[in-house]
Structure 1
Amino acid sequence: MRTQADPSLVDVYARLAAAWGPQHWWPGDTPFEVAVGAVLTQNTAWSNVEKAITSLKAAGAMTAAGLLALSEPDLEQAIRPAGTYRVKARYLRTLAAWIAQRATGDLSSLMPEDTDALRCEVLALQGVGRETADSILLYAIGKPAFVVDDYTRRIAARLRLLPDNATYESTQQYFVARLPEDAHLFNQFHALLVHLAKEHCRARPVCLACPLEQCCPSVDTSPATGHAVRMRTMPERTTTP
């Protein structure tokens, strides 16, 4: 059952949106490219995904039909920068075949369909887990599916909304039950949480000047935080755009 919007979540979103504005996620020229990126980003940095996508475009494989027409060696070579390329090549073929058959190559045609039923279909595809499925639903199709990742769980735990060991499902249910069912809101909120995790809510947090500094119960005001602030330009590996 959906509840009214939780004031704490609304406040978190409002503070982040005021600080950073629209995030324009997910980067991609077409829904198919977004779906491909959601698979390729598994266990690798987004910079590697961009290289693979550039290669796929050069090979004319940025449509379901184009990808399926690409030979196995050529597909593997194109996505090699994204890592585990043989496995991901199989995943991409499975995804492309489903899109070609189920959506006649056009993911946007699935927009009117039931979200839960569609999620079950996507989850049944080889190599598609919950985060990948929800990313495809939200960012490629435009369905209101709230995406959960390690960043989301870390922030929720530090805000004391959920325990450290909260599952994907419990975290997703918490957000969905307390926010309006709106794909644009889910899109922006998840993107803003990722931005927050990269800028401030890292494994070693940088609380100074964080948009949530005034409302986060876990805010660190110790001298150690000053040391962390000086480290804020250090790179952090990310698997998201």
Structure 2
Amino acid sequence: MTTRQQLMNIYERLFDAFGPQHWWPGRTRFEIIVGAILTQNTSWTNVARAIANLQAAGRLDPDRLHGLDAAELEPLIRPAGYFRLKAKRLRNFTQWLFEAYGGSLDALEAVETRRLREELLGISGIGPETADSILLYAMDRPVFVVDTYTARVAVRHGLIEPDINYEQLQYLFESNLEPDVTLFNEYHALLVRTGKDFCKPTPRCPACPLNDLPHEVQIESA
């Protein structure tokens, strides 16, 4: 079985078991971007509360959020945790957006994906996972988002070595799958679901939809 066949087999099993995950929650492109920045090191429940605060305050668009100073922004996003740090990151993003593109998310449509990724990574506080989440979920670019859950499933199923980095793990998926936004969206969400519910540091293999596939488990420290 080729690597592509292995990856598609995993995807199909997870999709059959869990169905569509409806990622990423967000009514607007900007809301998705804000969520991608706020969700670093916290649960989505907390992010949703912070986004609700921004919405209630009428600040959930680039112009209105960009006009907030730190003292105004921090209390609104407090539920997301690390609110001072995340306020800086949000302000860094909007500053870049206004300085480089006049505050227009529509202007990003004309920017080639690789270049846009490099620009996002140049914003202080935006790392690879956040940048790729923005590209995939907000900008509909065929960029595969990977994370700890992705790595754990891939390593345990022998798809890649344990000492891989982000780019190597991303390349595993992007080089073996069609560059399809819908597929990349759903696959990442399904891997997160699998990692949270079954492929934990101490795994719950018997109930996992992938249990009858060849795999080797090394218990990780939590």
Q: Which residue of 2 aligns with 1:88?
A: 86
Asked if 1 retains the 8 angstrom alpha-carbon contact of 2:3 and 2:159, the reply is no
- Taking only the aligned residue pairs, the percentage that are identical comes to 47
**1:216 shift after superposition:** 3.5
Q: Which residue of 2 aligns with 1:75?
A: 73
2:124 is matched with which residue: 123, 126, 130?
A: 126
Aligned pairs, how many?
218
**1:147 shift after superposition:** 0.5
Q: Which residue of 2 aligns with 1:31?
A: 29
Q: Which is further off, 210-219 or 136-145?
A: 210-219
In 2, Cα distance between equivalents of 1:116 and 1:135: 14
**1:111 shift after superposition:** 3.4
**1:109 shift after superposition:** 4.6
Q: Which residue of 2 aligns with 1:168?
A: 166
Moved over 6 A (4+): none
Q: Which is further off, 41-50 or 131-140?
A: 41-50
**1:218 shift after superposition:** 2.5
Q: Deviations over 1:69-112 (max 9, x none)?
A: 22321101111111221111111011123334545545355334
Asked if 2 retains the 8 angstrom alpha-carbon contact of 1:119 and 1:133, the reply is yes
* Alignment TM-score, normalising by the size of structure 2: 0.91
In 2, Cα distance between equivalents of 1:204 and 1:121: 38
* Alignment TM-score, normalising by the size of structure 1: 0.84
Q: Which has the higher contact order (CA 8 A, sep 6+)?
A: 1
In 2, Cα distance between equivalents of 1:106 and 1:218: 48
In 2, Cα distance between equivalents of 1:22 and 1:163: 29
In 1, Cα distance between equivalents of 2:107 and 2:24: 18
Q: Which amino acid aligns with 1:170?
A: Q
- Report the aligned-residue RMSD: 2.0
Which secondary structure state, in structure 1, belongs to the residue aligned with residue 151 of structure 2? helix
Structure 2, unpaired ranges of 5+:
none
Structure 1, unpaired ranges of 5+:
221-236
Q: Deviations over 1:33-59 (max 9, x none)?
A: 111111111111222111111111111
In 2, Cα distance between equivalents of 1:19 and 1:175: 21
